[in-house]
Chains A and B, each alone.
Chain A
Amino acid sequence: SQQGEEDPQALSIQEGENATMNCSYKTSINNLQWYRQNSGRGLVHLILIRSNEREKHSGRLRVTLDTSKKSSSLLITASRAADTASYFCATDAEAYGGSQGNLIFGKGTKLSVKP
C-alpha cells in the first residue's frame, strides 16, 4: 500500500530552472519527509516537515505542507545537473493503518536536469 504519491512521475528541465514535485497522501500524518536517490545508490534524507509546520527551507530546497489538502511540494531552485535523481516523499505509516514508527514511501519523481 502506498501512502504518498508523487507527481509528476518524471520531470525534465534545463539547468538553472526551478523544479517542483508534489506529494499527496490519504490520511492524517505526524510528519512528512523527502528523500533523494541517485541512480544505484541509497536514499538520502533531505527535509522533514511536521504536521504543524507549513513551510521549511534548506539551502536551495523549499518544502511546503498543506494538511487541509493532504499534499506537500518540494521546490528545488536554480537546479544543477547534480540534482538529477529520484525524489521520494514518505509519511509515517501509523496514520495509514500501519505500525507506529514506520515510513511509507511513494513511488518517486524522476528528475533530469540537463546541462
Chain B
Amino acid sequence: NAGVTQTPKFQVLKTGQSMTLQCAQDMNHEYMSWYRQDPGMGLRLIHYSVGAGITDQGEVPNGYNVSRSTTEDFPLRLLSAAPSQTSVYFCASSWTSSLSEQYFGPGTRLTVT
C-alpha cells in the first residue's frame, strides 16, 4: 500500500493563480482532511470529508475548495492564491474520524509570491 500520497511536493504560484493540490489514499478510509502548517502555529484544519460526496469546513476554509467524488481522492483547490496561503499543506485519512489514528501524507510546500 502506498498509504496517503500528495502531489506536487513543491509549488510556487503567483498571486491570483489557481491550482489543485492532489491527495489520494489506498486504504479505503472514509475520513479525509486537509491541514495547513505554518511556523509556530501547529496544524489547522481547512476542510474535511466523512465519505464520498460529503465535505465540510474546518477552522480556516476561506480561499479553499474541496470535493470528494470517490473514496480515494480528496483534492484541495486554491481559487485565487494569496501570499497568506504560503504554507505546508498536509492531507490525512483515517477509518472514521478523530477517534482513530490519522495517516498523513508527506506534504506539499506552497509558496505564493
Contact = CB atoms under 8 A, between A and B. Distances in A.
Interface string A1-41: 11000000000000000000000000000110101000011
Contacts of B31: 101
A93 interface: yes
B43 interface: yes
B103 interface: yes
Nearest to A101: B97
Contacts of B50: 101
B97 A107 contact: no
Interface residues of A, number: 29
Interface string B82-113: 00000000101000111111111111000000
Interface residues of B, number: 29
Contacts of B41: 107
B42 A102 contact: no
A45 B98 CA distance: 12
Nearest to A99: B56
B105 A100 contact: no
A100 B97 contact: yes
A97 to B, nearest CB: 11
A43 B88 CA distance: 12
A96 to B, nearest CB: 10
A65 to B, nearest CB: 15
Interface in A67-115: 88, 90, 92-94, 98-108
A45 B101 contact: yes
A102 B58 contact: yes
Contact of A43 (B56, B58, B104): B104
B44 to A, nearest CB: 8
Nearest to B107: A42
Interface of B: 4, 31, 33, 35, 40-45, 48, 50, 56, 58-59, 90, 92, 96-107
Given A2-B42, A42-B104, A45-B101, 17 more contacts: A31-B98, A31-B99, A33-B98, A40-B107, A41-B107, A42-B90, A43-B43, A48-B101, A90-B102, A93-B45, A94-B98, A99-B58, A101-B31, A101-B98, A102-B45, A104-B45, A105-B44
